[in-house]
Amino acid sequence: MASVKKLGILGSTGSIGVSTLDIVAAFPEQFEVVTLTAGNNLARLEEQIRRFRPKMVAVISADGAQQLKERLGADAPQILSGVEGLVACACHEDIDMVVSAIVGAAGLVPTMSAIETGKDIALANKETLVTAGSLVTEAVARHGVRLFPVDSEHSAIFQSLEGHRMDDVRRLILTASGGPFRNRMLADMASVTPADALAHPNWSMGRKISIDSATMMNKGLEVIEARWLFDVPAERIAVHIHPQSIVHSLVEYVDGAVIAQLGIPDMKTPIAYALSHPTRLPLDLPPLDLCSMRNLTFDEPDLERFPCLALAYEALAMGGTAPAVLNAANEIAVDAFLNEEIAFLDIARVIRAALQGLEVKPLEHIDQVLRADLWGRKEARRFIDARGEGATVC
């Protein structure tokens, strides 16, 4: 009988965090929660603490930590705040595996700290690999930890590679739903609202990744994520539009064989596989009913309507600090769009402006990533503010 796996869940109040805890609740004999972290959703974190009884939790602000202590009274675990709190929750000595499910570059430092203290990682936070891929994969090798993808496409590729040699791989093919604007004309995309963009056709996800799916930056970030996870160059990573989100991604081999992983669009499947690899958990999900499907279609992406995908390939080719700047500018632009400061099509313009002003530096240390992230945010903000003052843009 396998021993209980002890988990630290970073971003437990988010979409991935909640699905992870659903799995933990369904298999209490297999998993135990040691630490949880949240941003601002104290009410949800309080419920999770009462239910899963972690030893330590962290939230963003000291004020939030104080409020949580008051709400929980005698039931309170150790409650920390800030980046130090996140890092303590990622590195707790009792943890076997960290589920990295914070959104954005805020996930990088705690995830890297977990790797450096020898924890296995179930990685949802794609921004960790986007911003610091070379440093993260070096650290994974140095510390002998295992990095399991949670992102559905990367889990599909991971599963399609099992039992095969990387030397035999010709291409990785990432599928993309095309998001809510897959069939929208470019001119009509100019006036879409945050509510339109948040309405993903197939997946229920957090706000930032939902907007990324609408611009297809999500797929761009996933190309970069795949480059580092599987050590395959960008030229051998293709993107196909597959609106049904049933084929989660594919591997093409040198002999012409193509191996894919299929399933209903539910993140519990890839999360469970990352948590329990190599065994599979008997999840209570509806089966994939292949006979009810009339169409599984595949198409080339349109880079004119979805320039964010092209920008991600460009940043990957630029190398060094460029992907960190791409990601930072995207985070600022997505926030500005959600706050109705800029239009949907401006998201790509903001990112392009940040990349154009960048002097790329090679990555040798995580501090360079953090500096590039800060620079990208400032540059994106400057560009957005200049637009507000009536500056002309491309």
Ligand X SMILES: CC(=O)[C@@H](O)[C@H](O)COP(=O)(O)O
Which residues are documented as binding site for NADPH? Answer: 13-16, 39, 41, 125, 127, 206
CA 104 – CA 215 distance, rounded (Å): 16
| Gyration radius (Cα) of the chain, Å | 21
Comparing CB distances to ligand X, the nearer of 35 and 215 is 215
- Give the residue ranges of the annotated binding site for 1-deoxy-D-xylulose 5-phosphate: 126, 152-153, 177, 200, 213, 218-219, 222
User: Is residue 128 a contact residue for ligand X (CB under 6 A)?
Assistant: no
Distances (CA, A) of 394 to 192, 351, 387: 19, 12, 11
Sign of torsion, CA 383 387 389 392? Answer: positive
CB of 380 to ligand X, least distance (A): 21
**According to CB under 6 A, which one of 209, 241, 274, 336 is a site residue for ligand NDP?**
209
Q: Is 152 in the site for ligand X (CB under 6 A)?
A: yes
Q: Which is nearer to ligand NDP, 11 or 323 (by Cβ)?
A: 11
Coil, helix or strand at residue 171: strand
Instruction: Provide, rounded to whole angstroms, the least separation between the CB of residue 146 and Mn ion.
Output: 20
Asked if residue 218 binds ligand X (CB under 6 A), the reply is yes
Print the binding letters for residues 90-119 with ligand NDP: x by CB under 6 A, - otherwise: -----------xxx--x-------------
Q: Is the bond preceding 270 in cis, omega lying within 30 degrees of 0? A: no
**Cα(220)–Cα(226) distance, rounded to whole angstroms?**
10
Alpha carbon 48 to its chain centroid, in Å, reads 22
Minimum CB separation of residue 300 from ligand X in Å reads: 15
**Of 89, 82, 83, 84, whose CA–CA distance to 64 is shortest?**
82
DSSP helix/strand/coil, 56: strand
For 341, phi then psi, to 5°, come to -90, -30
Cβ 34 to ligand X shortest distance, Å: 26
Q: Identify the residue among 32, 46, 151, 335 touching ligand X (CB under 6 A).
A: 151
What residue 177 binds from ligand NDP, ligand X, Mn ion, none (CB within 5 to 8 A, per partner kind)?
A: ligand X
CB of 231 to ligand NDP, least distance (A): 20
Q: Which of ligand NDP, Mn ion, ligand X, none does 38 bind, CB closer than 5 to 8 A by kind?
A: ligand NDP
Contact 211, 145 (CB under 8 A): no
Candidates 32, 46, 120, 151; binder of ligand NDP (CB under 6 A) is 151
Asked if 184 is part of the footprint of ligand X (rule: CB under 6 A), the reply reads no
Measured from the CB atom, the residue of 119 and 219 that comes closer to ligand X is 219
Q: How does strand 78-81 pair with strand 97-100?
A: unpaired
Rank residues 126 and 387 by Cβ distance to ligand NDP and give the closer one: 126
Element (DSSP H or E) covering residue 6: strand 5-10
Q: Binding residues for ligand X, how many (CB under 6 A)? A: 11
CB of 275 to Mn ion, least distance (A): 17
Helix (H) / strand (E) element for 172: namely: strand 169-176
Give the relative orientation of helices 207-215 and 346-356 as an angle to the nearest 10 degrees: 90
Say which entry of ligand NDP, ligand X, Mn ion, none residue 219 contacts (CB below 5 to 8 A, set by partner kind).
Answer: ligand X
What stretches of the chain show up as alpha helix (H) in DSSP?
A: 15-26, 42-52, 62-72, 82-91, 108-116, 126-143, 152-161, 186-189, 194-198, 207-215, 217-230, 268-276, 307-318, 322-338, 346-356, 366-388
Of the ranges 2-10, 115-123, 128-136, 146-154, which one interacts with ligand X (CB under 6 A)? Answer: 146-154
Note the residues at the interface with Mn ion (CB under 5 A).
151-153
- The amino acid that residue 118 corresponds to is G
- Partner in contact with 14, chosen from Mn ion, ligand X, ligand NDP, none, beta carbon below 5 to 8 Å by kind: ligand NDP
Choices 120-128, 136-144, 161-169, 324-332; region in contact with ligand NDP by CB under 6 A:
120-128
CB-nearer residue toward Mn ion: 32 or 153 = 153
The packing angle between helices 217-230 and 126-143, to 10°, is 10
Report the interface residues with ligand X, using CB under 6 A: 151-153, 176-177, 179, 203, 213, 218-219, 267
Q: Which spans of this chain sit near ligand NDP (rule: CB under 6 A)?
A: 11-17, 38-41, 60, 86, 101-103, 106, 124-127, 151, 203, 205-209, 267
